[in-house]
Structure 1
């Protein structure tokens, strides 16, 4: 449900997410909405055994792409005074933890199919 709620937040607070998009992305609003939809569908997919492995792989890829946004915000912290710097730093290890968590779904599903 974490991803579903996070994805919905992309639609409720689109302006904030557009604001944090790195300058090198074209069409930031479309990317924010697409990433929100991806989070929603990925989160729902984790709940369905038949799509769990595919969704977990998609979430891993999505989180890897999000590193660019996190690093952009960290290296341009002055542009985001509304976000405390400690949160910008904390997001990096959190991102790794979320990737590991998603990878655990991949491994668990593979192990279940092997037995």
Structure 2
């Protein structure tokens, strides 16, 4: 049986996905400029996060875990963009922006640990 950390992880992804719909402007602002249809990307990524979080509670758990890892890889350009654009230094201190990149890999490892 999975421990509370697993259920916490699933809940975090569901809540993060919901926030894409509650605060879309915040997410739209961090989508790199080379992507078109930023609003569509934000809503799609929110839907994916919610779906993967929910799927963790089903027999599709393994697929969801691989999906989370793939999603986190796909989000890396956002973190690199935020790290390289000075406008985000108003949002968070530079050290926070730097730590977000390796944090993605920590989140990937967390998901991988349940495979």
TM-score range, shorter chain: 0.7 to 0.9
Q: Does 1:90 align with 2:99?
A: yes
Structure 1 residue runs of 4+, over 3 Å off? Answer: none
**1:23-62 maps to which residues of 2 (within 5 A)?**
23-48=33-58, 50-62=59-71
TM-score, length-scaled by structure 2: 0.86
- Confirm or deny that 1:14 pairs with 2:17: no
Q: Does 1:79 align with 2:84?
A: no
Match of 1:4 among 14, 18, 26: 14
Matched, 1:103 2:103: no
Q: What are the Cα deviations for residues 72-102 of structure 1, in whole angstroms up to 9, with x where unaligned?
A: 10011x2221222222112112111100111
Q: How well do the aligned residues superpose, as a CA RMSD in angstroms?
A: 0.9
CA–CA distance in structure 1, aligned partners of residues 54 and 19 of structure 2 = 15
TM-score, normalised by the number of residues in structure 1: 0.86
Greater Cα radius of gyration, structure 1 or 2:
1
- Runs of 5+ unmatched residues, structure 1: 107-115
